C-alpha cells in the first residue's frame, strides 16, 4: 500500500488515507481501498471499519493533477465508474463503515464519506462538492447521494455555489451524525465503533442489508448518467479551462463551451 495505512484492534479496522498534503483520491488510492476492503471482508475478527485522513484533511477531493493525464471523456467516465462502483460497494458492505472527518471532506472526499454508513465530524470541518468551481461536476455519485442526506434545496445551493458547510451545519442538515472539537473526534469515533463491535455480526449484517431497500428506484440510472456527463463536461472547453486554472493557481475564465 502506497497511500493507505490500516490496522485492526478490538475488532475495529482503521483505514488511514495518507496521501499528503490533501489526501487526494487518485485512482491508485481508490484501487488500494478496494484491496483493503477485500482483506477486511474476509477477516472475521473485524466488525467495524473506521476511515479517516492523516494530516490536515480527511480528503480535499479527487486528484486534479491526475485529470491532466486523461486523454478523453470516455476515460474520464471510466474514472467516475471506478469511484462509483467502489462507493456502491462500501454502501452495501456487510460491516459498518464510519467516516471520521476533520479539516475538509471536499469533492471526492465528501463522496467517499457519503458512501460510509455514517459520518462523524469536527465542528470546524468543511464539507462540500466544489466541482463546479472547476467547470466540472461530481463524478463519484455525489449528485445522487447529497440530496438524499440534506434535501434537494440545500444540495442545489451547495452544488451550484460550490460553498461548503461546516461540521456543525452538516449535523444540522442530516449529513453527519455528531460534531466534536477536533481533539475529541477520534476518541469519540472509537467509542461509537466499540459499541457497535460488541453487537452480533449476524444482526449487524441483517440491518445493513435492510438499508438497501430504502434506495430510490432511479438511483442507479442517475449514477450512470452522472458518469456519462462527467466525461462530457471534462471534454468541454470550460472543463479543460477549469483544470488548467486549478493547476496554474488562477481564476478560471469560463465561456460556456
Domain membership of residue 169 (yes or no) is: yes
Burial of 83 (0-12, 13-18, 19+ CB in 10 A): buried
The enclosing domain of 74 has a CATH number of: 3.90.226.10
Domain membership of residue 242 (yes or no) is: no
Interatomic CA distance for residues 33 and 57, integer angstroms: 17
Catalytic residue annotation = 111, 131
Amino acid 166: pLDDT: 98
For range 85-93, the mean pLDDT? 96
For range 220-224, the mean pLDDT? 89
Domain membership of residue 207 (yes or no) is: no
**How many domains does the chain fold into?**
1
Question: In what helix (H) or strand (E) does residue 256 lie, and over which residues does it extend?
Answer: none
Across the beta sheet with 126-128, what order do the strands follow?
A: 104-106, 126-128, 165-166
Domain membership of residue 202 (yes or no) is: no
pLDDT over threshold 90, residue 211: no
Domain membership of residue 200 (yes or no) is: no
Amino acid 196: pLDDT: 96
SS (H, E, C) 121-144: EECCCEEECCHHHHCCCCCCCHHH
Amino acid 218: pLDDT: 81
Domain membership of residue 255 (yes or no) is: no
Domain membership of residue 189 (yes or no) is: no
Q: Could you report the per-residue pLDDT of 103-121, keeping only the tens digit for each?
A: 999 999 999 999 999 999 9
Q: How crowded is residue 239: how many other Cβ atoms within 10 Å of its Cβ?
A: 25
Amino acid 213: pLDDT: 79
Give which of 238, 73, 218, 214 is closest to 141, Cα–Cα: 218
Domain that holds residue 79: 4-182
pLDDT over threshold 90, residue 181: yes
For range 177-191, the mean pLDDT? 98
Amino acid at each position: 500500500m502506497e497511500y493507505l495505512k490500516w490496522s485492526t484492534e478490538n475488532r475495529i479496522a482503521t483505514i488511514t488515507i495518507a496521501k499528503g498534503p490533501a489526501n487526494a483520491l487518485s485512482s491508485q488510492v481508490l484501487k488500494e481501498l478496494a484491496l483493503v476492503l477485500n482483506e477486511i471482508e474476509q477477516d472475521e475478527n473485524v466488525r467495524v471499519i473506521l476511515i479517516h485522513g492523516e494530516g490536515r484533511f480527511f480528503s480535499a477531493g479527487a486528484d486534479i493533477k491526475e485529470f491532466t493525464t486523461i486523454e478523453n471523456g470516455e476515460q474520464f467516465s471510466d474514472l467516475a465508474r471506478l469511484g462509483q462502483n467502489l462507493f456502491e460497494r462500501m454502501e452495501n458492505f456487510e460491516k459498518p463503515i464510519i467516516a471520521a472527518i476533520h479539516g475538509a471532506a471536499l469533492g471526492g472526499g465528501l463522496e467517499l464519506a457519503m458512501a460510509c454508513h455514517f459520518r462523524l465530524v469536527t465542528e470546524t470541518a468543511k464539507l462540500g462538492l466544489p466541482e463546479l468551481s472547476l467547470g466540472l461536476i461530481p463524478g463519484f455519485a455525489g449528485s445522487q447521494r447529497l440530496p438524499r442526506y440534506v434535501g434537494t434545496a440545500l444540495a442545489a445551493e451547495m452544488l451550484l455555489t460550490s460553498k461548503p458547510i461546516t461540521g456543525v451545519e452538516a449535523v444540522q442538515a442530516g449529513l453527519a451524525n455528531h460534531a466534536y472539537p477536533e481533539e475529541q473526534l477520534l476518541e469519540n469515533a472509537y467509542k461509537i465503533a466499540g459499541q457497535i463491535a460488541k453487537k452480533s455480526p449476524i444482526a449487524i449484517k441483517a440491518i445493513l442489508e435492510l438499508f438497501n431497500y430504502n434506495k430510490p428506484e432511479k438511483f442507479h440510472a442517475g449514477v450512470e448518467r452522472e458518469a456519462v456527463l462527467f466525461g462530457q463536461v471534462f471534454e468541454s472547453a470550460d472543463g479543460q479551462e477549469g483544470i488548467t486554472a486549478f493547476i496554474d493557481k488562477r481564476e478560471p475564465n469560463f465561456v460556456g463551451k
